[in-house]
Amino acid sequence: MASVLIIEDEDIIRNALTRLLERHDYSVASAPSVEEAGDAHDLTSFDVIIADLRLPGASGMEVMRLAPGVATIIMTSYASVRSAVEAMKCGALDYIAKPFDNDELLLAVRRAVKEGRLERQNAALKADLSRDYPVAGIIGDCVPMKRVFERIAKVAPTDTSVLILGESGTGKELVARALHERSRRADGPMIAVNCAAIPDSLIEAELFGHEKGAFTGAVGMRQGLVEAAHGGTLFLDEIGELPLPAQARLLRVLQEGEIRRVGASVSRRVDVRLIAATHRDLGQLVADGAFRDDLYFRINVMEICLPALRERGDDIVDLARYLLERTYKRLKSPPLRFSQETVRCLTRYPWPGNVRELENAIERAVILADSAVITPELMALPDRQDQPREPGRRTAPDLSLEDYFRQFVLEHQDSATETELARRLGISRKALWEKRQRLGIPRPRQRSVDA
């Protein structure tokens, strides 16, 4: 039963409201003033407070300061736009003018009860999440992940630019969201942009906006993604793919706090915090002339390095169990668990696609599972425990990411299609093709046409 406190100095109205709400199964307490209500009750214990604006002593507005977080409805005989705006600014959920309609009041109370409970549930869920998983749901207890958590805790409250480094699929966007949610900008927008997914010819217009007629096809003015992040956080994933002209514009945003839309003659002020991420060696790109050194120094104020999944020890099993539970719930499947053999294979497999590959493998296994147990076969995991080491072949810890990729593709390309290979690696078919070209890994003749 929801509890309501009525603070009203007119006995007739207070008693009528009490009877009305009790008839609709609310638990009701009342008082003629804010002072008496505070003396008699714990104001924060109610689901809803209905307070008259004009009361003897403290105004009804004062109750919102004394009971923060409690849904408050302000009512008055002196309704005006100004007082309504003032009440809403102070945090009132609703504003009702006397004489009020009973149905209108009951509707406002029901809405207040519902929203108040949702807020409390949300706060409880966030508290549970923070307790179980220290940073925005990111799971990890190994030493490298503890260093990541410590770095996030230190840099998140600042406006410092952050560069997140790590292989593809390690969860760089999760770290960026954790930084945003723990910053002073958490109530502002977070705009995430994958620089590799936007064609070079369009990226400046997408990031910085354009004026009507700035180029062929610009039939109207358009706000850019940087401008959309005003007051919040701009996350540029794969910043190493940003073309040099766009890098120059981004540098101006960081140095001067302003942007100029494509085709515009006037600059606009913007207030954004930049978080960038890449799996590439930006220092080498600077040396090669593919990345501006002044921009590199601007974004590389604070680095957060994410370890590859193969370097995280027992975290792999904990993360896999978390992802399994989340996946079977999302897919509305019965509860599932890993077999002991699967757990052993999880820790021995090198995971070249990192967390993204693990997540894809688990989703496929959940879809294919006919029993409550996930086997290595369902996840397409090789059992490497008894496999002899081939002469001249390096073990997992000795391999670079590109060597892992090459070894994985060569081992599985005869038994898997390009689509299956890409899915198991946690990348797109286009990315698989591009890596094949760059590393010189030809496709086998019998699979030159992939069904």
20 with 81, same domain: the answer is: yes
pLDDT in tens, 218-236: 777 788 899 999 999 999 9
21 with 147, same domain: the answer is: no
**Into how many domains does the chain fold?**
4
Write down which residue in 98, 127, 156 finishes a domain.
127
368 with 231, same domain: the answer is: no
Write down which residue in 99, 127, 155 finishes a domain.
127
Q: What are phi and psi of 248, to 5 degrees?
A: -65, -40
d(CA 387, CA 264): 64
d(CA 276, CA 405): 25
Q: Say if residues 93 and 71 touch (Cβ distance below 8 Å).
A: yes
Contacts of residue 329, Cβ cutoff 8 Å, sequence gap at least 6: none
- The answer to whether residue 132 is domain-embedded is no
Q: Among 59-68, 106-115, 284-293, which range has the highest average pLDDT?
A: 284-293
174 with 217, same domain: the answer is: yes
d(CA 123, CA 111): 18
Per-residue pLDDT at 318: 92
SS3 state of residue 421: helix
332 with 437, same domain: the answer is: no
Between the CA of residue 93 and those of 61, 72, 74, 152, 448, what are the distances in Å?
Answer: 12, 6, 8, 35, 64
In terms of DSSP H, where are the helices of 302-414? 315-330, 340-348, 354-368, 401-412
d(CA 206, CA 236): 12
Averaged confidence pLDDT in the chain: 84
- The answer to whether residue 236 is domain-embedded is yes
- The answer to whether residue 321 is domain-embedded is yes
- The answer to whether residue 135 is domain-embedded is no
pTM assigned to the model: 0.60
| 125 pLDDT tier (thresholds 50, 70, 90) | low
Write down which residue in 100, 127, 154 finishes a domain.
127
- The answer to whether residue 136 is domain-embedded is no
Q: What are phi and psi of 320, to 5 degrees?
A: -65, -40
- Quote the domain boundaries for residue 15: 3-127
Q: Say if residues 201 and 341 touch (Cβ distance below 8 Å).
A: no
Q: Omega into 99 within 30° of 0, i.e. cis?
A: yes
Amino acid, res. 111: R
174 with 317, same domain: the answer is: no
CA angle 365, 366, 369 (to 5 degrees): 80
- Mean per-residue pLDDT for 376-405? 58
CATH code, domain with 325: 1.10.8.60
148 with 270, same domain: the answer is: yes
322 with 291, same domain: the answer is: no
38 with 62, same domain: the answer is: yes
149 with 278, same domain: the answer is: yes
153 with 293, same domain: the answer is: yes
Q: Say if residues 8 and 14 touch (Cβ distance below 8 Å).
A: yes
- The answer to whether residue 134 is domain-embedded is no
18 with 85, same domain: the answer is: yes
Instruction: Identify the residue whose tokens are 């000795």.
Output: 398
Task: Give the bridge partners for 302, in sequence order.
Answer: 162
Q: Among 344-353, 375-384, 418-427, which range has the highest average pLDDT?
A: 344-353
Q: What are phi and psi of 373, to 5 degrees?
A: -115, 130
